[in-house]
Amino acid sequence: MMVYIQAVAVMVLLGAGLVLLLLLAGRFLCNYGTCNVTINGREPLKVKGGGKLLDTLYDNQIFIPSACGGQGTCGYCKVRVLSGGGPLLPTELPYLTGDEQAKQTRLACQVKIRNDIELEVKPEYLNVKRFRAVLSSATLVTADIRELHFTLCDGGQLEFRAGQYVQVSVPAKGGSVFRAYSIASTPSHPEELELLVRRIPGGLGSGYMHKLQVGDEAEFTGPYGEFELTAGDTELVCIGGGVGMAPMRSLIRHLAEVEPERSCWLFFGARTEEQLLYQKEFEALRKRMPNLHVVYALSEPEKSPGWNGETGFIHLAAERHLQPGVKRQAFLCGPPQMLSSARDILLGKELDDKDIFADEF
Ligand SMILES: Cc1cc2nc3c(=O)[nH]c(=O)nc-3n(C[C@H](O)[C@H](O)[C@H](O)COP(=O)(O)OP(=O)(O)OC[C@H]3O[C@@H](n4cnc5c(N)ncnc54)[C@H](O)[C@@H]3O)c2cc1C
Ligand code: FES
């Protein structure tokens, strides 16, 4: 038995020694020199090799979405690496479909720059900008959700589509990390930025956003996101809960400004009445938007004795109210399970998958 334990200990020590040696070799011996990074066939960037593609692009003012801050857990940082990216890593596989793999799609946070590299990124990423903003006011709208209003510094303007998001740079040990927050304000006020942030116990980004004081400066990049409300007579359907309200509020307030007659549904689910958001605001909007329908539903109504509105899960409320056969675009914002149930209901109401946009958070 003793011999066995000694053998295991020796193996563990040898393994640890080997890992240390490899790390030291990587640190001191691997010098990748200057590498060319060619993006969408443009003039190559000359960069110092050895860094992560995502970070190197960021340092060169190319901002790729990265909701998890480069930890390889969100799958947002997809780019096509046409050459020089090295083999696909096991950490990337869960986030890439077979089709994406065939098209050389990679997670930028997992690719290391070891040589010249050729990329294709979505053209809109090249329009993402970094900006600073000052917190001008902040209010708690529920026990754990804070509404924050920022004014962009130096006359900056953020051109965005309703429903898009920004990434806030959060100070952290050894640098900054990034967290995504949806824009709740409307594109008609590009000099402002309104966000809704739920405090997650122990959360780095949400903790930072809840601690910011009026007058403090924060740094953002944006805009990001696929949400795109098309003009026309298509009915708009928003389904969500919690801070998922942020992009839905932007979309509906934008509609109130540009197409107040357009038909629009808001389905908002919460456990209890205290978690409902902006009931009075939407009530007021309904006076200007004759075809706005607002449905709030509580999943734990027994905890809100005065509640006489709808009850149950919000996707079931959508199932009850939406008639099939209407041309629609849907925007789903909330926890993953709510989104997947809502998507199934919408597909059952004959919505095309391409007309369903979803942001999970
Ligand atoms: C496109 C997009 C838009 C988003 N928009 C918003 C928004 O408008 N408002 C907003 O508040 N958030 C939004 N989020 C979520 C936000 O980006 C952060 O993930 C969130 O604030 C948690 O980050 P954190 O740094 O506070 O927590 P972390 O420091 O990353 O995590 C701390 C701990 O909390 C856990 N945790 C992380 N997130 C959650 C969660 N949602 N619920 C429970 N536990 C969690 C982690 O597993 C970890 O254990 C959005 C995310 C995406 C992808
Ligand atoms: S940044 Fe999240 S997976 Fe790459």
Please, what is the average pLDDT of the chain? 92
* 196 vs 247: CA distance, rounded Å: 9
pLDDT tens readout for residues 315-329: 999 999 999 889 999
Q: What is 128-224's CATH topology? A: Elongation Factor Tu (Ef-tu); domain 3 (2.40.30)
Across 1-5, 44-48, 65-69, least confident range: 1-5
What are the CA-CA distances from residue 253 to residues 115, 239, 245, 286 (Å)? 48, 15, 12, 11
pLDDT tens readout for residues 254-265: 999 999 999 999
* Domain ranges for the chain: 34-125, 128-224, 235-360
Confidence at 31, pLDDT banded by 50, 70, 90: confident
Which ligand number lies closest to the CA of residue 142? 1
Judge contact between 88 and 68, C-beta under 8 A: no
Tell me the HSE value of 205 on the side-chain side, using a 13 A CA sphere.
Answer: 19
pLDDT at 26: 54
pLDDT greater at residue 149 or residue 23: 149
What are the CA-CA distances from residue 70 to residues 25, 91, 176, 197, 255 (Å)? 24, 12, 11, 21, 34
Q: What is 235-360's CATH topology? A: Rossmann fold (3.40.50)
* 259 vs 252: CA distance, rounded Å: 10
3-state secondary structure 9-25: HHHHHHHHHHHHHHHHH
Atom number of ligand 2 nearest to Cα 67: 2
Decide: 309 in ligand 1 pocket, CB within 6 A.
Answer: no
pLDDT at 173: 86
- Hey, what CATH class is 34-125 in? alpha beta
Q: Which of 74, 81, 105, 221 to mutate to test the pocket of ligand 2 (most atoms within 8 A of CB)?
A: 74
Judge contact between 47 and 113, C-beta under 8 A: yes
CB-based burial, 70-85: b 16+ in 10 Å, e otherwise: bebebbbbbbbbeebb
Mean pLDDT in residue range 32-39: 94
Mean pLDDT in residue range 349-354: 92
Q: From the CA of 347, how far away is ligand 2's center (Å)?
A: 29
Residues facing 79 on adjacent strands: 106
* 63 vs 57: CA distance, rounded Å: 7
pLDDT at 324: 87
Decide: 196 in ligand 1 pocket, CB within 6 A.
Answer: yes
pLDDT at 288: 94
Confidence at 28, pLDDT banded by 50, 70, 90: low
Statement: residue 88 has pLDDT above 60: yes
Q: From the CA of 179, how far away is ligand 1's center (Å)?
A: 7
Statement: residue 275 has pLDDT above 80: yes
Which ligand number lies closest to the CA of residue 207? 1
